[in-house]
């Protein structure tokens, strides 16, 4: 029915105006700035209904309306068109990311790029170890009874771990260990690594078994260690931009959550490559993020997701623009990492 449609049109107009001006929007301003074909009075009655339904609210009696979380949700789900990136933005992505020398460099550049494109806080998850595969395992002898185990994954991560050996070791043993480990774990998804340990221990030469057990344990532990899911954060200066207006003094808990990482990781980590996920305000189910929205997507290649990335900002954000930017950057990063 026509009523319904116009009301949604009104909601869309409210969201757009509010996002761009940061002022509660009134019926008169709406009628002027948008071709809704009806008078302010009519818009007022639509707004009354929208408020009744919980999509908008007024900060105080004689102010305009502001979208609620529910209003933004409807906007994102049904009212926003995908906003294509400008040529300048596309070029910026390429220029920014090309020339990165290693994984750390790629992630750092990505997070800066995303922050500058969206003017929000950007976060990028390191490729999760559990979804990576072993490219190479290296054993370096530090002292007679101390080894360094270095893991290099196909996603470019390098992890290290010092291992105390129960027995003294010589150079030959190190070489043997290296080739055994690579033969066993080479190419394995790290999720499967644990399963290959028993077989390795059975078939290995007896004098190396004790050592291999320790090394395997260190390897498996590296994957399980919760700290190994890391986050790169950037653009926090954007929080200070319009702080107090957008975040109503809630900047601090947000900064804390970003440093804690664990909360944000949970949100960012739950994504598939390709599907942009938007969580609005209270949907984040965490106090510090109640006033914020998170736009995230997985990055990876060939249908395989390495990890997630996204932006965190006030609920009053440019959803279509941010969704487009996040998706485009994720796609590019996926290609980049697949190549190297």
Within 254-283, the residues that bind a copy of itself by CB under 8 A are: 255-256, 259
**Residue 239 binds to a copy of itself (criterion: CB under 8 A):** yes
**Residue 145 binds to a copy of itself (criterion: CB under 8 A):** no
d(CA 252, CA 88): 34
Residues 6+ apart with CB under 8 A from 209: 201
Q: Is 145 exposed, middle or buried (0-12, 13-18, 19+ CB in 10 A)?
A: middle
CB atoms near residue 178 (< 10 Å): 16
Angle (CA) 112 246 17, round 5° = 95
Among 133, 251, 290, 338, binds a copy of itself (CB under 8 A): 251
Nearer to a copy of itself (CB atom), residue 194 or residue 253: 253
Beta bridge partners of 295: 278, 311
281 binds, among a copy of itself, DNA, none (CB under 5 to 8 A by kind): none
- Considering only 23-31, 43-51, 130-138, 208-216, which stretch makes contact with a copy of itself by CB under 8 A? 130-138
240 binds, among a copy of itself, DNA, none (CB under 5 to 8 A by kind): a copy of itself
**Residue 152 binds to a copy of itself (criterion: CB under 8 A):** yes
**Residue 234 binds to a copy of itself (criterion: CB under 8 A):** yes
Residues 6+ apart with CB under 8 A from 251: 239, 240, 243
d(CA 254, CA 291): 9
d(CA 278, CA 69): 12
Residue ranges in 26-102 assigned as alpha helix (H): 27-33, 40-53, 69-74, 87-97
Q: How far is CA 223 from the centre of its chain?
A: 20
Number of residues lying near a copy of itself (CB under 8 A): 38
152 binds, among DNA, a copy of itself, none (CB under 5 to 8 A by kind): a copy of itself
- Shortest Å, Cβ 67 to a copy of itself: 26
- Shortest Å, Cβ 237 to a copy of itself: 4
| Complete edge-to-edge strand list for the sheet that includes strand 134-143 | 134-143, 146-153, 158-164
**Residue 286 binds to a copy of itself (criterion: CB under 8 A):** no
102 binds, among a copy of itself, DNA, none (CB under 5 to 8 A by kind): a copy of itself
**Residue 140 binds to a copy of itself (criterion: CB under 8 A):** yes
Task: Summarize as ranges the residues that interact with DNA (CB under 7 A).
Answer: 2-3, 6, 23-29, 37-42, 44-45, 47-48, 51, 58, 60-65
39 binds, among a copy of itself, DNA, none (CB under 5 to 8 A by kind): DNA
Supply 136's token pair.
């190479």
Q: Is 206 exposed, middle or buried (0-12, 13-18, 19+ CB in 10 A)?
A: exposed
Q: Identify the DSSP state of 273.
A: B
Among 32, 102, 170, 192, binds a copy of itself (CB under 8 A): 102
Which residue in the block uniquely carries the two structure tokens 């390709």?
A: 274
The contact set with a copy of itself (CB under 8 A) reads 101-103, 105, 108, 112, 135-136, 138, 140, 142, 148, 150, 152, 156, 158-162, 222, 225, 227, 234-237, 239-241, 243, 251-253, 255-256, 259, 340
């Amino acid at each position: 029915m026509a009523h319904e449609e116009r009301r949604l049109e009104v909601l869309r107009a409210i969201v757009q105006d509010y996002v761009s001006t940061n002022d509660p929007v009134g019926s008169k301003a709406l009628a002027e700035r948008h071709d809704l074909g009806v008078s302010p009075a009519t818009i007022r009655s639509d707004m009354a209904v929208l408020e009744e339904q919980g999509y908008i609210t007024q900060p105080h009696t004689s102010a305009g309306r502001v979208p609620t979380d529910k209003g933004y949700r409807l906007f994102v789900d049904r009212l926003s068109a995908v906003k294509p990136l400008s040529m300048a933005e596309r070029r910026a992505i390429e220029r920014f990311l090309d020339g990165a020398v290693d994984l750390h460099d790629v992630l750092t550049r990505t997070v800066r790029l995303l922050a500058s494109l969206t003017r929000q806080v950007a976060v990028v998850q390191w490729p999760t170890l559990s979804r990576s595969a072993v490219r190479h395992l290296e054993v370096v002898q530090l002292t007679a009874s101390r080894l360094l185990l270095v893991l290099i994954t196909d996603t470019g991560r390098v992890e290290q771990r010092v291992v105390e050996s129960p027995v003294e070791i010589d150079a030959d043993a190190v070489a043997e260990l290296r080739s055994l480990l690579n033969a066993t774990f080479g190419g394995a998804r790290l999720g499967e690594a644990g399963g290959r340990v028993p077989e390795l221990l059975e078939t290995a030469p007896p004098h190396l078994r004790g050592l291999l057990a320790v090394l395997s344990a260190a390897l498996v532990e590296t994957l399980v260690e919760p700290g190994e899911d890391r986050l790169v954060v950037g653009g926090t200066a954007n929080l200070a931009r319009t702080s107090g207006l957008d975040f109503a003094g809630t900047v601090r808990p947000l900064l804390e959550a970003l440093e804690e990482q664990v909360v944000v990781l949970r949100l960012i980590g739950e994504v598939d490559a390709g599907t942009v996920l938007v969580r609005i305000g209270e949907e984040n189910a965490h106090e510090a993020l109640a006033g914020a929205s998170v736009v995230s997507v997985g990055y990876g290649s060939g249908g395989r997701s390495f990890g997630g990335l996204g932006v965190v900002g006030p609920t009053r954000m440019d959803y279509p623009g941010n969704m487009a930017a996040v998706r485009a950057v994720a796609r590019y990063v996926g290609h980049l990492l697949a190549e190297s």
